[in-house]
Structure 1
């Protein structure tokens, strides 16, 4: 059975993509610790990040770094948080989020999907895409 992330990547479920290529996708999580909270995932369904091919792992991190830089710039925060958790969905993924303190690292602080403002989610996705474009990252397929 496909993971929820595979269903988002294939278009079977909706997603607010900020980046996509043949091997990596980045989209906003529906339960963010802050608006702009992005999941960077391999297109290939691999459960554990430790099982990823090293070149794919490197590319995943390259995109996470670009997303993090865009978040810092566009959300005017001192840091971009980076977290690997992975028990909730059996598909490797990196959480990248605006961080002003350590609270974002506690995913139990996340907004529920019914507590987010769709307009703010759309604005956050566009901010990240804009920040990526300003860094020269092609987001045309996002």
Structure 2
């Protein structure tokens, strides 16, 4: 069964793409806690981060680091918060969230409602910082 994230990677569902490599994909969360809230996923389906083989796990983490560094350059913030829960979509994913205080990481906080043009501009700004 194909997850919603696999369908995004396949281009069946649109997204605000930031970057991809052979094994991983990054795109903006459509229900962001903050401007620049990004999801980083492996292209291969798998439900749980800590069940990934070591090579795939390290690849995902190194890719997430590059994306986080690009977010920091594009979005004013003090840090990039990292969250891995994995209960909402059965496909391993890492949340990268620009934060200025600890409370910015509370998942139950109200989500931002940003217009498509702003989401596209944010994705483009982060993508431009990927090196």
Between 66-75 and 24-33, report the one with greater CA deviation: 66-75
| Contact 1:34/1:110 (<8 A) preserved | no
Matched, 1:10 2:6: no
Q: Which runs of 5+ in 2 are unaligned?
A: none
Normalising by the residue count of structure 2, what TM-score does the alignment of the two structures yield? 0.94
Q: Distance in 1 between matches of 2:66 and 2:18?
A: 11
Q: Where do residues 112-131 of structure 1 align in structure 2 (5 Å cutoff)?
A: 115-131=113-129
SS in 2 for 1:2: coil
> Map of 1:48-67 to 2, 5 A cutoff?
48-67=48-67
Residue ranges of structure 1 left out of the alignment (5+ in a row): 137-142
- How far does the alpha carbon of each residue in 1:58-99 deviate from its partner, in whole angstroms, 9 at most, with x for none? 111111111111111211211011110110000000001211
> In the TM superposition, what is the alpha-carbon distance from 1:103 to its structure 2 partner?
2.6
**Retained in 2: the 8 A contact 1:71–1:98?**
yes
User: What's the offset of the Cα at 1:110?
Assistant: 4.6
CA drift of 1:104 comes to 3.0
Distance 2:58 2:110 in 1: 27
User: What TM-score do the two structures reach when normalised by structure 1?
Assistant: 0.87
Distance 1:103 1:89 in 2: 23
Segments ≥4 residues shifted beyond 2 Å = none
What is the aligned-residue RMSD (CA, Å)? 1.3
